[in-house]
Chains A and B, each alone.
Chain A
């Protein structure tokens, strides 16, 4: 007899919040098994992966650097996912934002001034917003599934950036490498601590967390987001437009991703490259879910996922592990999280499926 899933009467509230921790522990366990299989001493690997990056102040600063885009996007995606708007294409919105912000930096090449950075950030936000607006328009006007359109537009954005790198924005003195000029001093984000790469983008991420929290818990918009996701018909009855929520959450996600893109090119990178993100836009989806679709949760989840990037790099250097280990860990984490969530809402029953609903 096949085991069947039976809905629990009331899912445990405690477990809903504990499930990310559970998922993390399970991924670590699975990681140990994985390391043993490929013949790497598991404790050394885990040390290199999770402890070593955090043992220096430089490492901690790097955690902030990698965490910044993840948190910025993760907060915005949390709001979107809560509203039932599945924007999977933050990576593309990040790319377009970075490209637009970078283009402004290159326009002012050789000039200095305080106006340059704000203009870049604004252009970055607008770039991401514009890219997400396509998705919102297709969804509202033609009911096109935003999961598909946003994902496909990510690839378009990637190719478009590549084209710009090989063409119009290529460094004229760059020996034909597909890279832009290095940005001038005024186009780079100020650093918070000397000797690290931690920049003021990290503060913007913290502001985003606080703003996201206030929006979600206290404002009419946050209320609309929650109700649109859980009961669209009730949303219409309350006089809120579901289409408006789709537009707002998508544009918000696009804007934050675009901002993150510009922060990347004007912060740690300092120029435009054909590849400006190691998949931050996709990883931010995991951030949103591990953070339980809550802005404060996204802060912690963003730092955790940032650690997997750092750990992957250290493990590469120390133990010669492939860079794919990062992706494996991220995937394991999401897999175990979703599995825990299912088991929190359902329980497995062996034997005859006499009770299909555990309700009276």
Chain B
């Protein structure tokens, strides 16, 4: 093994959790300078494998060779000592501290902040990661925060960099920049393990890919020989279908109209919605793109009634002013909504699926009689949702928190769709959802629109919006752009809208 060309080589990695074989004899090899994709649906065992590499989990079986030598990675500190660094999906940064202070906290010894700031600037210049070391974190965008994490890793001069779904929060332009940085790093000999389920990205960035399904390694392939659909087939084990948007141009009457809606932020971290104008017609899907934290949450809550408007005529449902109605009055008027956060907002984590079905369904499904809950009716409603939307669960009596992200999302969307709404507002319908569930969800949303409902999708996944929506616009800093037919748009143009740039020349960025 002495002259191995591989930096790291995993053999037969196995990890068992109570009741689940999370990794079943998985092999993985990465050479220096290689960008290697780890691909798989949610629950395929990607995180488990990575956690074993980074010393967070201890494998039950299997060996790791690093630099040709057999190692047992005891802890993240040990992994870092070996030269393995990891950028997590969720950042661990203190908002109220500056960039350099945050980075110094990760170093286990006294640090000269001035010197460290110099090093940060140097690395940020060298790899095209613009970042001012003295800015406070709360003033930074998500993309800039991610740069802190990357620079924090690079300061350790790692030989293997692990990135867990790094692009889920970035604009297309930011993704482009990140990829340039990663390519430069790989040219210098850094090995990169890149975890994602976005096939297009993997196709354009990575050299090799290892595909996992249900804890097993399906194969390792050279990306140049594969297409996105062949990768998807390996990942899911079934053929993906493209959703047919059809040739519909005839959108029906306006079901939801937002008229000059302005809503001040609730607190200092909130976003003020300004002059929002929007129309969603029967039979069409309208998409709102945008980078996280630009007012998506606020918009959803303003539309579904969780926050009431100052004037009733700001929001018009089926030609009736609804701005001052609460969520249940708007449900009665035909509106349903799916918030971005599933556990704790769209569903109650520690209550079972029957209670969660009741949560938004009791009005339209008639689950309440004279103040008393009709539990047998609620149970059959919950079972209908579970059956119709193929929610994988051991029963309706399990808490919502025990479902995987994709299954919970199928349950939540199914709960709303079963109520046959005339207007559906859904935020991040497939975020963190595996490819199979994504297909189910997208199909059912399109079907709802085809049946004559007005559907509004708020999403940070541009591919999804380009695929799903008939008209598309973007939200930036609490303002909404104009909307354009998706067929006339490119990803780049939507990226400009997301950055708050107007596409119409000579016109200011009117919302």
B351–A226 touching, CB < 8 Å:
yes
Q: Bound state CA distance, A27 and B56, in angstroms? A: 39
Q: Bound state CA distance, A220 and B363, in angstroms? A: 11
Q: Bound state CA distance, A9 and B399, in angstroms? A: 13
B48–A230 touching, CB < 8 Å:
no
Residue A233 at the chain B interface, CB threshold 8 Å = yes
Residue B327 at the chain A interface, CB threshold 8 Å = yes
For window 171-221 of B, CB contacts with A under 8 Å fall at none
Chain A residue numbers with a CB within 8 Å of B18 are 9
For window 452-504 of B, CB contacts with A under 8 Å fall at none
Contact of B345 among A9, A221, A234, A239 (CB under 8 A): A234
Against A, the Cβ 8 Å flags (1 = close, 0 = not) of B289-311 are: 00000000000000011100000
Against B, the Cβ 8 Å flags (1 = close, 0 = not) of A214-241 are: 0000111101001100110110111100
Residue A324 at the chain B interface, CB threshold 8 Å = no
Contact of B20 among A220, A237, A360 (CB under 8 A): A360
* B20 to A: closest C-beta gap in Å: 6
Q: Bound state CA distance, A72 and B177, in angstroms? A: 65
Residue A355 at the chain B interface, CB threshold 8 Å = yes
For residue B305, which residue of chain A has the nearest CB? A239
Residue B99 at the chain A interface, CB threshold 8 Å = no
Residue B58 at the chain A interface, CB threshold 8 Å = yes
Category for how many chain A residues contact B: 20 to 34
Q: Bound state CA distance, A233 and B22, in angstroms? A: 32
Against B, the Cβ 8 Å flags (1 = close, 0 = not) of A139-161 are: 00000000000000000000000
Residue A115 at the chain B interface, CB threshold 8 Å = no
For residue B347, which residue of chain A has the nearest CB? A234
A230–B350 touching, CB < 8 Å:
yes
Q: Which positions in B face A, CB cutoff 8 Å?
A: 17-18, 20, 22, 48, 55-58, 74-75, 304-306, 326-328, 331, 337, 339, 341, 344-351, 355, 358-360, 362, 368, 371-373, 375
Q: Which positions in A face B, CB cutoff 8 Å?
A: 9, 218-221, 223, 226-227, 230-231, 233-234, 236-239, 352, 354-355, 360
Contact of A219 among B331, B347, B350, B372 (CB under 8 A): B372
Contact of A239 among B327, B341, B358 (CB under 8 A): B327
For residue B47, which residue of chain A has the nearest CB? A360
B345–A360 touching, CB < 8 Å:
no
* A8 to B: closest C-beta gap in Å: 11
* A170 to B: closest C-beta gap in Å: 46
Q: Bound state CA distance, A360 and B19, in angstroms? A: 11
Contact of A237 among B75, B306, B351 (CB under 8 A): B306
A355–B57 touching, CB < 8 Å:
yes
For residue B356, which residue of chain A has the nearest CB? A234
| A-B residue pairs in contact (CB < 8 Å), sample of 9 | A9-B18, A220-B372, A223-B373, A230-B349, A233-B341, A234-B347, A360-B20, A360-B22, A360-B48
For residue B56, which residue of chain A has the nearest CB? A354
Chain B residue numbers with a CB within 8 Å of A237 are 304, 306, 327, 337, 339, 345-346, 359-360
